[in-house]
Structure 1
Amino acid sequence: MLRPTHLRPVLRSSPRCQQCLRRSLFSGKGTSRVSQDLDLNKLNSQRRDYERHRTIFLAAGATAGIISFIYTAWKLKKALAQQAEKQKEKAAVKCDAPPIPKETFKTEAGEKRKIVVHDEEGRVIVPTGNSVVPAFPRNIEVKLSSAEGDDSIAATISDKQGNEYTLVGLGVRTVTFIGIQVYMVGFYVATQDIAKLQQYLVKKINPTATTLIPSEKDALRKALRDATEGEETWDALLRDSDCRSVLRIVPVRDTDFHHLRDGFVRSIAARSQRNQAYNDESFGAAMKEFKALFNRGSVPKKQELLLCRDGKGALTVMFNSSRGKESKMELLGKVEDERLSRLLWLNYLAGSKVASEPARESIIEGVMEFVERPVGTVASQVV
């Protein structure tokens, strides 16, 4: 039976059929959108994993590089030390004289004394522990030019002329973290001025004492080792005590004046920047004068450079350019500004960072030998 024609449009436009048609048309798009979201999450996860693995790989490579660098530096330092030891043994075999003793001995009364060693000229020498520069003289005599402003008169070192200076302490100057040795440095004080050094340091700990007992020596040692207090102590001593002193520098390898000058200037500049008292034209002019003294050529190993500080703080620089037994010093020049020599001296005596930690420690121990004796007696014993 045929369906009436007027009913057909009603069936086509039925709401229920339209809803089914709409659901079937859009059902495919909904499914693809969900799958697309799932794919993006997967890609993001993969990207994060890649970045994490890449970071771990780079960090592992950097760590391996640092470890290999440190290991190579350690092997190099060990090889240099072995080479130096072999050279020292060869030098000992070639030398007919017995090695310099470093040990001490005790007398029957229990007093601890150092073994005294003399060189070929009969001078007392102090071992350095270095194979290139094995010893420093216990005493040196420095004669500066007597004519003021006369640079033609050379300064000389001898055993019969000039002012005598006594060694307080010495040590080696090293650079870089593998400890490459550059020069040996010794700190000398004028023998006649040792009493001033004694008196100032003793009075710092005990104003009523003339010598220090062991507990007071420990207090002084602690004060000199402290970065701040030690620098204040030596700064005041150099400024107020008019104590004459000398820094004796002997390179253990070939170098040049410019290299030595750069090290000195860096240390002076670093300390001067902390204090506004050095920011003036006169100090800048003194720095220029000091730099001009080192506009020279090479400095062979074992040749000595003397930095002399007089009672007023003026700095005189001398260099031994001669070779052989006769020591002939050449006067390089003079800087009058006391502040410059004081900052240069502090670079070896005190502060958080010094040019040679072994030298600073040796100087402190040398000072301890002075202050354990009554003020004024050390100079008479030395002379």
Structure 2
Amino acid sequence: MAVAALWWFVPGSYPYGAASEVTVGFNHWIEREPGVGLLLASGVLGVMLALGARSWPKPLGVGAAAQSLFFLLIMSDASVLSSIGYFLIPIVFLGVGALVAVGCVRRRPVAYAAALLLLAGLVLGLTTTDALSRYLANIAAGFGVYGERIAWSWVMAIITVVWAWLAYGSFARGRGTANPRWGRTVTILAACCGVPYALTRLSWVTPWPLGGYDPRTGQIEFLATATGDMATRLQGFTIGMSSVLSVVLTLGLISRWGEVFPRWVPWAGGRPVPVTLAVGPGLFAAAVLCVAAPGVLAGAVQSGSALDGVLFVVLFPCPVWGPLLGAAVFAYSRRRSAVLPG
């Protein structure tokens, strides 16, 4: 209700509606007055649920589910997913650097070659082109324009997850098969969901860059001439690497190294992977994808043509990706819990 009051008394604080440059969400069609009314009604319902939580646990679950659906379908959008992609970029770089460093310590020839290539690329990039500085400038400019809007999206996403957890706790916690047989299938399908976007963005460092969704035109560009800028190419490639990381980590849910750390991992090699280390990030990623799903459908509806809409959903298959990943993480958790002692 406090947020609703802010949006009402400070009109410029309302982040949604037709004036917003972010169109990947149904909130793009909700102007300030109805938006304030919807959020105020949600706040009143939330207070009523909190007051009656102990006396009526089942109605609390129903109400929490309704609240979660409201914030998921109406107030959230896909900008949460895009911000995660940018957040993963430094993690990818640090991960690659750590792998190369470990390989060098263990005196692996391939690690020495990779270290030389990375060093040569860094020196070449810093001395012969301003691609790196322009890349960082592009990132900073993007967050400067969309930062506040993304922050609001995160607020709504967090509220969505909290209500969903309350609903889950009322109805389903502790239920389920000890070792679901469908776990491997849904995990492979979840991993495949990240492949189209990864291939598209990785192509930006080749002579044949594939395009992507342009939020300004609502269309898919097949051969993105805009990616001729090396800084932009680098930006697309690094985001693509984040998607590759998601594919690899998803496959870890059905791989041996997802249960036992590989021998080459310092300090932890050969030890069991803590279940929460995989389940926690996995559930977080599944929640983010589910939150982004309505926004993806809204973006597809606003695309320039039916083909553009289909391609947009292929690049960002969040409506199926989120549930598949959630099911894969659930199966992993049940399988590991069934074999762990105690």
**What's the TM-score bracket when you normalise by the shorter of the two chains?**
under 0.3
Question: So what's the TM-score if we normalise by structure 2?
Answer: 0.24
TM-score (norm 1): 0.22
Which has more helix, going by share of residues?
Answer: 2
Q: Which has the larger radius of gyration?
A: 1
